[in-house]
């Protein structure tokens, strides 16, 4: 079974449980924090993925880091993952939980990459356009990449629109190469 399938099943179980308990929004916030901690600490990830380190040690480490800082249901869930030998995919499960939460709440993440930072007005206008197209609440992030020269690229899920000068120059170069010019 793939890691994605396993992560998705565990995430869905936690999502259903916390929704029943009425703690879904708080747990989502906790999971955002857990993802941040795990991504910023490669040593912790290495410990969780190491099959030589005993489950008791992994549970103690998770308790030391998260006890009193996250919902007790989430911490118990982490202990269950350790007991089941799934500590190695804790980050994957947390990310999948957030993705499923966003899907359930009708939230779409999008990013716009531009040569310079966009104004708040431009970001708001673009956010409205994406929201109208996707029929969802949009969380929009602006990434600055001077190599675009000008224009922008927008990514929503697995779709991308490239309206950058660098992208247009690349297409022109491919066209000329195909023509043998």
Residue 127's CB is within 10 A of a number of other CB atoms, namely 16
C-alpha distances in Å from residue 111, one per residue of 73, 120, 150, 156: 32, 14, 16, 7
Q: Tell me the CA distances in angstroms from 65 to 42, 48, 70, 126, 130, one per residue in order.
A: 14, 13, 10, 39, 38
118-131 pLDDT, tens digit per residue, is: 999 999 999 999 99
User: How far is 141 from 157, CA to CA, in rounded Å?
Assistant: 13
| Location of structure tokens 């310079």 | 116
Q: Work out whether the CA dihedral 132, 134, 137, 139 comes out positive or negative.
A: negative
CATH code for the domain defined by 3-103:
1.10.520.20
pLDDT bin (cut points 50, 70, 90) of residue 165 is confident
What does the domain layout of the chain look like in residue ranges? 3-103, 106-179
| pTM of the shown model | 0.78
What are 146's two structure tokens? 């001077």
Q: Which residues make beta-bridge pairs with 114? A: 144, 152
Is residue 181 over pLDDT 70? Answer: no
Residue 151 has a pLDDT of 83
* Predicted confidence (pLDDT) per residue in 22-58, tens digit: 999 999 999 999 999 999 999 999 999 999 999 999 9
């Amino acid at each position: 079974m793939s890691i994605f399938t396993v992560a998705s099943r565990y995430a869905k179980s936690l999502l259903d449980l916390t929704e029943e308990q009425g703690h879904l929004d708080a747990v989502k916030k906790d999971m955002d924090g857990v993802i941040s901690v795990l991504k910023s600490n490669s040593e912790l990830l290495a410990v969780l993925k190491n099959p030589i380190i005993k489950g008791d040690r992994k549970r103690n480490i998770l308790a030391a880091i998260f006890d009193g800082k996250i919902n007790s249901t989430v911490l118990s869930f982490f202990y269950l993952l350790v007991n089941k030998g799934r500590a190695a995919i804790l980050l994957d499960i947390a990310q999948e939980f957030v993705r499923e939460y966003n899907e359930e709440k009708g939230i779409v993440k999008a990013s716009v990459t531009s040569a310079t930072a966009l104004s708040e007005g431009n970001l708001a206008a673009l956010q409205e356009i994406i929201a109208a197209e996707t029929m969802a609440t949009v969380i929009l992030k602006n990434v600055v990449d001077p190599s675009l020269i000008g224009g922008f690229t927008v990514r929503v899920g697995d779709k991308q629109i490239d309206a950058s000068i660098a992208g247009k120059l690349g297409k022109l170069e491919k066209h000329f190469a195909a023509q043998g010019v």
